[in-house]
A and B are shown apart, each in its own frame.
Chain A
Amino acid sequence: DVKVTQSSRYLVKRTGEKVFLECVQDMDHENMFWYRQDPGLGLRLIYFSYDVKMKEKGDIPEGYSVSREKKERFSLILESASTNQTSMYLCASSRPLEDEQFFGPGTRLTVL
């Protein structure tokens, strides 16, 4: 069964902390994505990557960075967490030239 996993389901951090959200996929997909989901706004793309060490900004990259050192792993980094980054974070992956994305279970991050 294909799978995208995320390191934590729930995370609570303090303002100013550095936060790492990890995503791993076992489908050998080239493309990986990080979204945040907020009520009434749907999912918004933060960053995506189409290959190892490659990254592209999405629609709302401010305050975030990413790392893709291995094909199966895509990390989202909050350098200095702020309360407005409290949200649900979803990771996804896909094959090149195919539109369907497979999603992880999500990480609900609360920044106090």
Chain B
Amino acid sequence: AQKITQTQPGMFVQEKEAVTLDCTYDTSDPSYGLFWYKQPSSGEMIFLIYQGSYDQQNATEGRYSLNFQKARKSANLVISASQLGDSAMYFCAMTPTGYSSASKIIFGSGTRLSIRP
């Protein structure tokens, strides 16, 4: 069965520091996609970054990068130069297959990130 594990329920980081949010996954599918979503206190889920299992390079989107280590089945999110607005809940997620007519996403339990000024 597919599973996403986020072992850090909460983290505190000083503003402007880099932060790494951990995510490990388990799947037997050869093809899958990995996501990170941000959920501020307002409740909406904001898509941050995507990594396909066959992508050769780690995904990057502005200050966000995904440290994809396939052999270790980890997909850590790195936020460089953290800002106060980064304080939120962060979810790692996975689709069991890369492409399907209605891809179901499996979510981890989330990490609450708090940025200190």
In the complex, the number of residue pairs spanning A and B with C-beta atoms less than 8 Å apart equals 69
- How far, in angstroms, from A104 to B39 measured CA to CA in the complex? 11
Q: Which of A82-97 contact B (CB under 8 A)?
A: 88, 90, 92, 94, 96-97
- Give the interface SS of chain B, mostly helix, strand, loop or mixed: loop
Tell me, yes or no, whether B109 is within 8 Å of chain A by CB: yes
Enumerate chain A residues within 8 angstroms of B95, measured Cβ to Cβ.
Answer: 99
Total chain B interface residues with beta-carbon distance under 8 A: 28
Complex Cα distance A81/B99, Å?
35
| Contact partners of B73 in chain A: CB under 8 A | none
Knowing A42-B91, A99-B35, say if A106 contacts B103 (CB, 8 Å): no
A58 interface residue (CB < 8 Å to B): yes
Within 8 A of B (CB), among A57-112: 58, 88, 90, 92, 94, 96-106, 108
- Chain B interface residues (CB < 8 Å from chain A): 4, 6, 9, 33, 35, 37, 42-47, 50, 91, 93, 95, 98-105, 107-110
